[in-house]
Chains A and B, each alone.
Chain A
Amino acid sequence: MGPVNELFVVAVVALSLVGCQTVPTGPVQDFVSASSTLKQAESDYFDEIQAASDASHVTIAGAEYVAHDGSFKDFSSAFVTREDFSKAKAARLAALTQLNNYAQQLAAITAAATGTWISDDAKQTTSAMQALLASGGTKLSSAQTGFLQSAVQGLETAIVNNETATELRSLAVAARNPISDIAKMVGEDNENIESDNYASGLVADQKQALLNILHVLYADKSVNSAQRYAALASWQNWKSSLVTKGQAIHDALMKLEKANDALAAKQNLSATMLAQEALGAAQGALGVSQKVK
């Protein structure tokens, strides 16, 4: 067997390795997207809670003011009272920032593993090989050169894919615990904010306070029809501050867990399919029909 044929045998083996593993680009993209969505939804969630709580205090104190109940000192104190949810929000965003940083590094891995540098290297290496063979009196046809280039690229791809998929799987397995911790945090927040009717209670507070204002104005004989109508028109345009991001957080968490599970899973099916494709390409390039193992 001449040097060129030996090279082609190696090349066929190289091509058959291409499908040993693939880089799970899709699940990584899903993971990055879900982690980003989750952080934004969590941030919005606490902004909504803060806004609804503030609105509730203002409207309740406003109703008290309109009813002329108690001293002005009491009213002014109630009117500026605010609950501060910033500490709770910061604690959650700190955890989710860590998740986002981690997700960005996963994206960096897939970007590095799927760049054009592999095919660029393949061309360079094949050119070097071509020159080496030419110096020994052997000349490759353009078809042979293309096949060698594919083989080199296939080898490099096989290595990078294998290393990358193995690493991503390892990272995904390790990430299950912290993701489970985040799920626990989301579950507890849901319990504290929504299951105990706190969020819906804030809306009810706002609505009730405004109705109270209308009631006082209605009962006050010194308020004329136009003033009552003006109050009613304002009430019609009023919208309560709602807490609505709970479902978005739940959905993003589900997607995050699904993407991580996909990263942690083996990819036997796609690997087998790609290996067959690589083998077929090698056989076609060599013009042989027998199976090469």
Chain B
Amino acid sequence: MATNGDAINDLEASKKALEDQCNGASGTTFLKLLTSIQHIADEVGKLEVLTLNDAYTPQTTAFQNGTADAIAFVQTLNSLRAIFGAVAGLAAAVDKVISYIK
């Protein structure tokens, strides 16, 4: 099976040939070249789509885990907020919050 690069090289070669033929070329030759380019261009497009569809795409599990961790931590922050809000005196607050730093 030709690679994209092979097909594109063929296409480029045909275009060059077409340019050469266009200067005073007969209508028949010109039309044959047009058809040839059409077929090659089709082939390149199919190859490209096939390649991209099958190309490596990253697994997203790691980001899903990271997202879950981040959501959990926002809840931790909210817990901290509740704890801070509930502390009635500075001495008690100091004991409580220092235990979180350690």
| A60 CB contacts on chain B under 8 angstroms | 37-38, 41
Distance of A81 Cα from B41 Cα, bound (Å): 11
Contact A196 B4 (CB under 8 A): yes
A274 to B27, CA, bound (A): 81
A193 touches B62 (CB 8 A): no
- A267 interface residue per 8 A CB criterion: no
Having A125-B90, A163-B80, A208-B18, one finds 12 other A-B pairs with CB under 8 Å, namely A56-B45, A70-B35, A84-B49, A105-B70, A106-B70, A125-B93, A160-B77, A184-B56, A196-B5, A211-B22, A212-B18, A219-B27
* Residues 6-59 of B contacting A (Cβ, < 8 Å): 8, 11-12, 15, 18, 22, 27, 30-31, 34-35, 37-38, 41-42, 44-46, 48-49, 51-53, 55-59
Which residues in chain A, 44-58, are within 8 Å of chain B measured between CB atoms? 53, 56-57
Assess whether A108 is in contact with B15, with CB atoms less than 8 Å apart. Answer: no
Q: Which of A101, A125, A177 contacts B89 (CB 8 A)?
A: A125
- Distance in angstroms between the alpha carbons of A82 and B34 in the assembled complex: 18
Looking at chain A, what size class is its interface with the partner chain? 35 or more
- Bits for A86-100, please: 1 = Cβ < 8 Å to B, else 0: 011001101100110
Residues of B within 8 A of A113 (CB): 77
Q: Are B8 and A201 in contact (CB under 8 A)?
A: yes
Bound state CA distance, A235 and B64, in angstroms?
A: 50
**B84, A118: Cβ atoms closer than 8 Å:** yes
Least CB distance from A39 to B in Å reads 12
| 8 nearest A-B pairs in the assembled complex, by CB-CB distance | A181-B58, A105-B70, A88-B52, A98-B60, A178-B62, A98-B63, A129-B90, A83-B45
Tell me whether A61 is interfacial, beta carbon within 8 Å.
Answer: yes
Q: A63-B34, A64-B34 are in contact. Are A164 and B45 (CB under 8 A)?
A: no
CB distance from A81 to the nearest CB of B (A): 7
State whether B94 touches A10 (Cβ < 8 A).
yes
Q: In the complex, are the beta carbons of B48 and A83 less than 8 A apart?
A: yes
Decide if A159 touches B97 in the complex (CB within 8 Å).
yes
Residue of B nearest to A197 (CB): B8
Does B88 interact with chain A (Cβ within 8 Å)?
A: yes
Residue on B with the closest CB to A216? B30
A275 within 8 A of B: no
